[in-house]
Chains A and B, each alone.
Chain A
Amino acid sequence: MSKDIRIKKGLNIKLVGAAEQTTSKAVLSNVYAISLNDFHGVTPKMLVKQGAEVKAGEPLFFNKNKESMLFVSPVSGELVEIVRGARRRILSLKILADKEQTGIAHDLLNVESASKEEVKAYLLKGGCWPFIKQRPYDIIADPDANPKSIFVSGYVTAPLAADLNYVLQGKEKELQAAITALGKLTPGKVHVSVGKSENSPLAGLSGVELHKVSGPHPAGLVGTQINKVDPINKGETVWTVTPQDLVIIGELLLTGKFNAERIVALAGSSVKAPKYYTTKIGTEISTFLYGSGVEGDNFRVINGDVLTGTKSAPDGHLGYYNNTVTAIPEGDDYELFGWNKPVFNKISATRALTFSWMQPNKKYNLDTNTNGEHRAFVVTGMYEKVFPLDIFPMQLLKACMIKDLDEMEQLGLYEVAPEDFSLTEFVCVSKQPHQQIIREGLDLLHKEIG
C-alpha cells in the first residue's frame, strides 16, 4: 500500500550543469583513499599495517567503540599510506590498487530464511554495516540498537544530485535482496519513498511500505520523510540507507563479495560535459573529472551535492557515501555595490531587488560566494518557509549555540541531521553555518546523553 507525502514548504534550487544520462567508464585510479571524515564519530583501530597487501572487501580497521563494526577496502592492493593529523589521528588510508583485482568471497547467506542475528553478523563481517546510518545523531548505526523502522529515500530533490531512477536501472535484484535483509533487522517497517510521478526501480520492491513523495526540496531528504511518516521520539532509533548503498549491500548478499562499484554523477557548471561515470568508492576524482572537461582553473570540487557535500579537490577522492561530484566556480571576487544593486543571476527566497521569482524555471550558475558576511540572527520567518519539519528551526539552532541540552532535546534535535538544515543555511541572510551548528549540537547531545 502506498501513502502519499506532499511537501509544500521548500525551495527547488535549479542549477545549470545537470549530468546527462549517459554513462562512461572512468579511468582506473592508481590510488584509492578512504577518508575517516566520512565516518563521523568512529575511532579507528587498524587491522593491517602500512605496506600490507589487502584484498577487496578485506577489513582495514574497526570501530574502537563497537568492535564488530568493520570497514573494508574497496580494492585490492597495497596499503601505502596512513595519513595522520594532529595527535596522530588517522585522517585517511591510501591503497595502491593492483592491476588484477582480487577480492574476499564470503559464504552465501540465504536471506529469506536467515535470522536477524545472522543477517546482522553477515553485514558486519562483509563490511556493509557502515552503509546503515542511524538517527538520532546521524552516525553509523549501532548494531546493538533495535530500530523502530528503516527509511530509504528514492526521491532526489537536491540540486544536481544523481538521478536514482537512472543509476538504479537493472539493479532490482540487488535492491530486493538488501531490502529483504534489512526487513529482518527491524521489528517495524522498511519505508521506501519514490517520486510521485517517477518510474523508479524502487517502486516494485516487496516487503516495504511504499510512499509517493511530491514537492520541492527538501522533500527528497530522508529526514523530511521520517518527520512526516514516523517521527523519532526520545529513546527511539531509526535507521536510514541510501539506495546506491543498498545495491552494494544487495550484491554482497547475492554474491558474497563486497563490490565498491558505483555510478557517479559528475555535474556542475564548471564541467563541460556533465554525465555519469562507473567507478569505485575512494577513486581519485581526477580520473573522471578531466574526462568531461572543466572550465577554467578557478572552480571548487564538491564531494556530494552543492548543499550537503564536502569541499574536495581534483586530486581528492570519492567519498564513501557519495554518488555525486559537483564542480562549480569559486566566487572569491568582490562585486561593486553587490549588496544593493538589482540581482538577476542569483537565487533568492526574497524579492528584495532580486528577480529569481520572475523566472521560476530558469537555471542558475551559482558560485561559492557567500553574498554577504556572517551576522547575528536578525530576520525571522525565512527558515520556516523552506523547512517543512514540525520543528522550530531558529529556536533549535539557538538552543544548539547556547548548548542548552534540555531545549535541544525538547525542540526535536533527535529527529534531524545536519542535511535537514541545508536549505535554511542556503536562505540565511545572516550567513550562519546552520549545518555545522546542528552537527556540533548532535555531537554534544551524543556525548552527554548518549
Chain B
Amino acid sequence: MSDKRLTFKKRLHILKHHYRGKKMAPAFNALHTFLFAPDETTHSGSHVRAADDLKRTMNTVIMALVPVLLFSMFNAGYQHYSAINGFPENFSLMENFLTWDNFWIGIIKVLPLVVVSYGVGLVVEFIFAVIKGHEVEEGYLVTGMLVPLIVPIDTPLWMLAVAVVFGVVIGKEVFGGTGMNILNPALTIRAFLFFAYPTWMSGDKVWVYEAVERAGGPDAISGETILGYLAQNKGAEMSYSISDMFFGFIPGSVGETSTFLILLGGLFLIFSKIASWRIMLSAVIGSLVMGLIFNGVVDAGWIGETSKFYGLMSFDFWQHLIVGGLAFGIVYMATDPVTGAQTNRGKWFYGFFIGFLSVMIRVFNPAYPEGVFLAILLMNVFAPTIDHYVVRGNVKRRMKRLKNATILPKDSAGKANELHAETV
C-alpha cells in the first residue's frame, strides 16, 4: 500500500512505533493520545475496563471551570468600566455585563494568563517527561486552568511564568510528578506569587484592570475587595449587595468572584462523582462553625467596634462563603485527590479544618484578608497524618479481632485452645 492511501490514524500508529524507546517518545505519545485514545489492550487481570481514564477525569474538572472562566472574562471588563464610569444605577445583565466591550477586556487580560499558564506549565511537564522517560501525565491540565483563575487580573505575565515554573518543579516534579506531590501545585504557584511579589497580590489596586494607573485620579473608585474593606473596618462604605457578592459582580481574583457559578461547578463535580462531596460539605460546615464562633464573640461584647478584628468578626457567618476565594478553594482546590485526605473518614476532618482555618486566617490576618490558600496548603501537609490515624483505626480493629479470635465453636473449646496455640 502506498503511503498516500494510509489513513491519518495509521500514519500516527507507524510514527508511534518509530518513536518507541526514543528520547522524544513521551512528547510524541502525549500529542498522539491527545488526538486518539490509545489502542492499548488488557493483558491480565480484568480483561475489560471502565470507560474513564485520567484524561477524562481531568477534562471533567476543566469543564466545571469553563463557566467560571467565561464569567471572569466579562467581569474583568465590568469592573474596569465601572471603576471608570461608576456602577450602573439599574444594573441589567445584558446591557451592563454581557457586552462585547467587557468581554474584550477579558480577552486581552484573562486569556494571556491562561495561555502563559498552560504554555509554560506544559513545557516544563514535557521536559520532565522526556528527561525521566515517563508519559506526560494529565495533572497539569487542571492546574493550568486553575492558576489564571486564582491570581489578580493585573498580575504581570512574566511573574506568572516564573511562578508556574517554580510551582511545577518544586511543587510537583521533585516529588515524582502527578500523583506523588504533597502540596497542591496551583496553590504552590499562588503561594510563590504571594510571598515573592506581595505588593502585586494584595492591596486595593490589583484586582481591577488598570487600577494602578488610575490611582490618585479624582473620580477613581477603589478596586478594593470586600474582604479588604472589612479588614479595614470600612464595611459601611461598601456598595455591594448580597446578590452582587453571590453572583460575582465584585472585584477579586480572576475566577473567584461568582459563588453562583462555582456552586454549579461544584454540583456538577459531585454529580459526575469526580470530586469528593465529603470534603466540600465538611469545609462548608467548618467555615460556618468558625464564622458562628466569631459572630458569637462579637455578640457577647468581647470585642469592641474599635478593634481591628471587628469588621471581619462581625461579618455574618454565612456570608464568608460568598466573598473571597473560599467557595472556589473548597470546590476546586480542597478536593484535589492527590494532596487531600484519601480516606473517606479522613476527608471529613480534612475538609472541616480547611473551612475552619480559612475563616480564622481571614479574620486574624487583616493585612492580607484571605486565608483559603494558606489553610488548604496547611491541611495538605496534615492530610497524610489524618489518613494515617484513620488507617490505624482499621489496623487496630484487625488486631483486636485477632486477639478475640474464637476459632472454633464453643463445644470443642479444648481443641480451640490447641489450635490457637498452634496457629497464632
Verify if B343 is at the interface (C-beta below 8 Å from A): yes
Interface string of B22-42 (1 = CB under 8 A from A): 000000000001111111111
* Chain B residues whose CB sits within 8 angstroms of the CB of A375 once the complex forms: 53-54, 135, 137-138, 178-179
| Residues in A323-357 with C-beta less than 8 Å from chain B | 326, 328, 330-340, 343, 346-354, 356
Verify if A300 is at the interface (C-beta below 8 Å from B): yes
Stretch in A96-104, A172-180, A231-239 touching the partner? A231-239
| Residues in A308-323 with C-beta less than 8 Å from chain B | 308-311
Give the CA-CA distance A223 to B145 in the complex, in Å.
43
Contact of B33 among A367, A373, A430 (CB under 8 A): A373
Verify if B107 is at the interface (C-beta below 8 Å from A): no
Verify if A188 is at the interface (C-beta below 8 Å from B): yes
Contact of A379 among B42, B44, B57, B394 (CB under 8 A): B57
Interface size on A, residues (CB 8 A): 85
By beta carbon, the residue of chain A nearest B342 is: A380
Give the CA-CA distance A326 to B47 in the complex, in Å.
10
Give the CA-CA distance A373 to B47 in the complex, in Å.
14
Give the CA-CA distance A394 to B419 in the complex, in Å.
33
Stretch in B119-127, B156-164, B373-381, B409-417 touching the partner? B409-417
Give the CA-CA distance A235 to B56 in the complex, in Å.
43
Verify if B402 is at the interface (C-beta below 8 Å from A): yes
Tell whether, in the assembled complex, residue B47 and residue A302 are in contact, meaning their CB atoms are under 8 Å apart.
Answer: yes
Name the prevailing secondary structure of the A interface residues.
loop
Verify if A185 is at the interface (C-beta below 8 Å from B): no
Tell whether, in the assembled complex, residue B41 and residue A372 are in contact, meaning their CB atoms are under 8 Å apart.
Answer: no
- Chain A min CB distance to B78 (Å): 31
Query: Size band of the B side of the interface?
Result: 35 or more
- Chain B min CB distance to A443 (Å): 15
By beta carbon, the residue of chain B nearest A382 is: B273
Contact of B44 among A426, A427, A436 (CB under 8 A): A436
Known: A237-B423, A331-B41. A372 touches B56 (CB 8 A): yes
Give the CA-CA distance A258 to B401 in the complex, in Å.
40
Verify if A118 is at the interface (C-beta below 8 Å from B): no
Interface string of B383-401 (1 = CB under 8 A from A): 0000100010011011101
By beta carbon, the residue of chain A nearest B390 is: A392
Tell whether, in the assembled complex, residue A236 and residue B45 are in contact, meaning their CB atoms are under 8 Å apart.
Answer: no
By beta carbon, the residue of chain B nearest A369 is: B41
Tell whether, in the assembled complex, residue B49 and residue A371 are in contact, meaning their CB atoms are under 8 Å apart.
Answer: yes
Tell whether, in the assembled complex, residue A368 and residue B412 are in contact, meaning their CB atoms are under 8 Å apart.
Answer: no
- Chain B min CB distance to A239 (Å): 14
Verify if B139 is at the interface (C-beta below 8 Å from A): yes
Give the CA-CA distance A292 to B299 in the complex, in Å.
80
Tell whether, in the assembled complex, residue A371 and residue B36 are in contact, meaning their CB atoms are under 8 Å apart.
Answer: no
Contact of A381 among B51, B54, B344 (CB under 8 A): B344
Tell whether, in the assembled complex, residue A340 and residue B59 are in contact, meaning their CB atoms are under 8 Å apart.
Answer: yes
Interface string of B201-213 (1 = CB under 8 A from A): 0000000000000
Known: A187-B408, A394-B342, A410-B395. A376 touches B416 (CB 8 A): no
Give the CA-CA distance A372 to B422 in the complex, in Å.
48
Tell whether, in the assembled complex, residue B37 and residue A376 are in contact, meaning their CB atoms are under 8 Å apart.
Answer: no
Give the CA-CA distance A340 to B176 in the complex, in Å.
26
* Chain B residues whose CB sits within 8 angstroms of the CB of A330 once the complex forms: 41
- Chain B min CB distance to A417 (Å): 12
Verify if B241 is at the interface (C-beta below 8 Å from A): no
Verify if A135 is at the interface (C-beta below 8 Å from B): no
Give the CA-CA distance A13 to B399 in the complex, in Å.
35
* Chain A residues whose CB sits within 8 angstroms of the CB of B405 once the complex forms: 233, 236
Q: Taking each of A306, A373, A411, A428, which has the highest tally of chain B beta carbons within 10 Å of its own beta carbon?
A: A373
- Chain B min CB distance to A180 (Å): 18
Tell whether, in the assembled complex, residue B408 and residue A334 are in contact, meaning their CB atoms are under 8 Å apart.
Answer: no
- Chain A min CB distance to B373 (Å): 21
Tell whether, in the assembled complex, residue B56 and residue A353 are in contact, meaning their CB atoms are under 8 Å apart.
Answer: yes
Interface string of B250-272 (1 = CB under 8 A from A): 00000000000000000000011
* Chain A residues whose CB sits within 8 angstroms of the CB of B272 once the complex forms: 350-353
* Chain B residues whose CB sits within 8 angstroms of the CB of A351 once the complex forms: 271-273
Give the CA-CA distance A159 to B46 in the complex, in Å.
11
By beta carbon, the residue of chain A nearest B37 is: A338
Interface string of B135-146 (1 = CB under 8 A from A): 101110000000
- Chain B min CB distance to A307 (Å): 5
Verify if B407 is at the interface (C-beta below 8 Å from A): yes
* Chain B residues whose CB sits within 8 angstroms of the CB of A13 once the complex forms: 48
Give the CA-CA distance A425 to B50 in the complex, in Å.
9
Verify if A435 is at the interface (C-beta below 8 Å from B): yes
Verify if B89 is at the interface (C-beta below 8 Å from A): no
Tell whether, in the assembled complex, residue B137 and residue A335 are in contact, meaning their CB atoms are under 8 Å apart.
Answer: no
Tell whether, in the assembled complex, residue A411 and residue B52 are in contact, meaning their CB atoms are under 8 Å apart.
Answer: no
Give the CA-CA distance A159 to B405 in the complex, in Å.
35
Contact of B424 among A235, A379, A428 (CB under 8 A): A235
- Chain B min CB distance to A109 (Å): 23
Known: A189-B409, A375-B137. A353 touches B60 (CB 8 A): yes
Tell whether, in the assembled complex, residue A369 and residue B45 are in contact, meaning their CB atoms are under 8 Å apart.
Answer: no
| Residues in A395-450 with C-beta less than 8 Å from chain B | 395, 410-412, 418, 422-423, 425-431, 433-436
* Chain B residues whose CB sits within 8 angstroms of the CB of A254 once the complex forms: none
Verify if A286 is at the interface (C-beta below 8 Å from B): no
Interface string of B163-196 (1 = CB under 8 A from A): 0000000000000111110000000000000000
Tell whether, in the assembled complex, residue A376 and residue B423 are in contact, meaning their CB atoms are under 8 Å apart.
Answer: no
Tell whether, in the assembled complex, residue A352 and residue B56 are in contact, meaning their CB atoms are under 8 Å apart.
Answer: yes
Interface string of B346-387 (1 = CB under 8 A from A): 010000000000000000000000000000000000000001
Known: A187-B416, A350-B272. A309 touches B39 (CB 8 A): no
Give the CA-CA distance A337 to B38 in the complex, in Å.
10
Give the CA-CA distance A187 to B179 in the complex, in Å.
47
Verify if A36 is at the interface (C-beta below 8 Å from B): no
Tell whether, in the assembled complex, residue B401 and residue A231 are in contact, meaning their CB atoms are under 8 Å apart.
Answer: yes
Tell whether, in the assembled complex, residue B48 and residue A368 are in contact, meaning their CB atoms are under 8 Å apart.
Answer: yes
Tell whether, in the assembled complex, residue B135 and residue A373 are in contact, meaning their CB atoms are under 8 Å apart.
Answer: yes
| Residues in A165-194 with C-beta less than 8 Å from chain B | 187-189
Binding site for A on B (CB under 8 A): 9, 12-13, 33-57, 59-60, 63, 135, 137-139, 176-180, 271-274, 276, 337-338, 340, 342-344, 347, 387, 391, 394-395, 397-399, 401-402, 405, 407-409, 412, 415-416, 419, 422-424
Q: List 20 A-B residue pairs with CB atoms under 8 Å apart, sorted by A's residue number.
A: A148-B419, A237-B423, A307-B47, A328-B48, A331-B41, A334-B12, A335-B36, A336-B9, A339-B34, A347-B50, A350-B50, A351-B271, A367-B48, A368-B42, A369-B37, A372-B56, A375-B178, A376-B179, A380-B342, A426-B50
* Inter-chain pairs besides A146-B419, A300-B41, A348-B52, 9 sampled, C-beta below 8 Å: A337-B36, A340-B55, A352-B57, A352-B273, A367-B41, A375-B135, A378-B139, A412-B394, A429-B52
Binding site for B on A (CB under 8 A): 13, 15, 146, 148, 159, 187-189, 231, 233-237, 300, 302, 306-311, 326, 328, 330-340, 343, 346-354, 356, 366-381, 384, 390-392, 394-395, 410-412, 418, 422-423, 425-431, 433-436
